[in-house]
Structure 1
């Protein structure tokens, strides 16, 4: 078989000629878009998503829901109430929840949100729904969702793998009720059950039994979005038991939702300001958000920058110096590749902790970062739950991405300061950040 040239092509990462000074419109949040699609599909009335992200992961989610019987109409409006977003002048999706049914086959690609959020939805469908995806998707943990759904009354065939491929035999309804899971490997196990919980006959009570729970902000995002569509949710933060979330059964309302910019995808552009001692404005940065990427304001300030949240968005300015950091990233693990890239260019060592679960992401991100930075002359060692990074003078070379979008953007950050870095398969950034190469060269004025 001939190699896929998109996967083997090398992209010369642009070297910054000086301090960047740019405004970068970051497309909408993948995490918000895909949660909003699921909730709209489960609603009792039509809903709108304004400025949705159009990327591989979100198009996979929309395609999967369409396969299960949901109508999603895509429109582009020049109306001032919708226009001006970064994702195609005022794009909007109208979701018509016309009833879930099989038989259907769902392609999850390598999207964690699709492979984990949709089996509970499929349990509510009439008929069998088969889930399949990229080879890497077979290696990603899914047992938390599969075991929980079985305990709640669903019938699932996975040949005992606890992973893809699998078939959910939907019965049109699900009893629901209390269930215990270990979500140590992914907070998406909790979110998956909560999102469909209002439609279960008894709702759902999810009890996390593991020792750790990564990415709590993503669970808070799920809870906030559930409440916005009329669901009643009890959480540990609202006075409930620790590690227990309860969703009361009830109708899900259709809403008109404008999607926030993806703050985690703003990371490479903020890093560019930090690394080059420049300035970048990210328009429409929300004053209040559950997105993990909001932590970048604090982390990158500690690493040598400064930021100001204005009526236009977030203005981030580098000082010309990049400092190392000792930080627990357990709640914001997806930021690790970009922080590691900046740390490799810093003036002092860094320790990134609390991210053992990254070994189970799109790739083993800890092993991948260690190998790729070290092959450029770096000094990175893996720890039990993270990375220790000692800055060294780096040199050019090929930066492999393992079909992982955040590895590609991490390599681009290093390439700003190191001549001759070539990113293998930069096209993988389309998973969550379409047109990244154009956005990147545009920021640099190239």
Structure 2
């Protein structure tokens, strides 16, 4: 990656307590105006951000290892994205593609056809959020196959709409008391190497899934398998090698649509453009969002032309889907990722961070597992000497790191995973500083 210039100094610097007085004052206003159901991971309020740094309203400069949950991969205020947005909004901010279409939408669809796995003919539809993308992928699969059943997996997260809550595995905070949920969703066991029985290969884990599908549903009733190539909210679970290819092959043989949910894993995050590529899996439909547009709300599904073209005109879309400003941002972000080879940068982040995390795990028996690919890495915390999840320790590590100026996110079905999702443009020195803090905090807390 070539040397980049930033508006803001790329450094960690604390000038007040955390949270500071202005963040605390804003939090009082928030509680009086914002619904309590909207949570935030950290108690500081952002005033500015650039590259891999977030500056709060009190002037503290934090190193950002969350990237807005894998969104700001090209940096928090990428100048190329900002310029593209400014130019587009000066012409028109909205016409609705379903009323007066525009070239930006078409260009994004062309880029997605080129970037997503496979050389087959493809079509795309643009939306606003990852949940919308997943929901529409299921709609397409059901219409195209004439079947109703959808297979999802333990530890999955696919969104907060009614259908995507049904696909999501975790109750709190995503599903509790929001039911009833959409029907014909069937949950299958995920390949989770750290918690699976010893010796369970990816192929055997896939056969376990297929056996249950045959017994509980029947292959000829299944419209789609929806699966994250690396599970995100569920704990950055990387399935055992062979799991994804075996399920994709079974789906192909049985006329089932294989949907790869790449909302979090897509756009260079794991060291390839899409995580499915690590095992040469070619999904029938790919769902995308998060890193696609440099921070603006945009999502997409890209898939086999015969599947997406099976839907009648007007059956897919939305008022804001493929908004022209978001499309301009996406085109600039994709150009930047390509020009600066951000897949290679993600691999560089892995090469720096993963050995240090593994060394920390060898030193500290509260770290049960270290896993991930590219700039999507995680540590799973457990009770020492076993595999019992330790969510309290996990929360303490994240809180102590914030006090030292590093933003970390937690995740996992059991709430016991620290995930590292830095912007892909983070410099080696800045990444090293963040890892220094993380190591010191884990040693102190654990």
TM band (smaller chain): under 0.3
Q: Could you state the TM-score of these two structures normalised by the residue count of structure 2?
A: 0.26
For CA contacts below 8 A with separation 6 or more, give which structure has more relative contact order: 2
Which has the larger share of strand?
Answer: 1
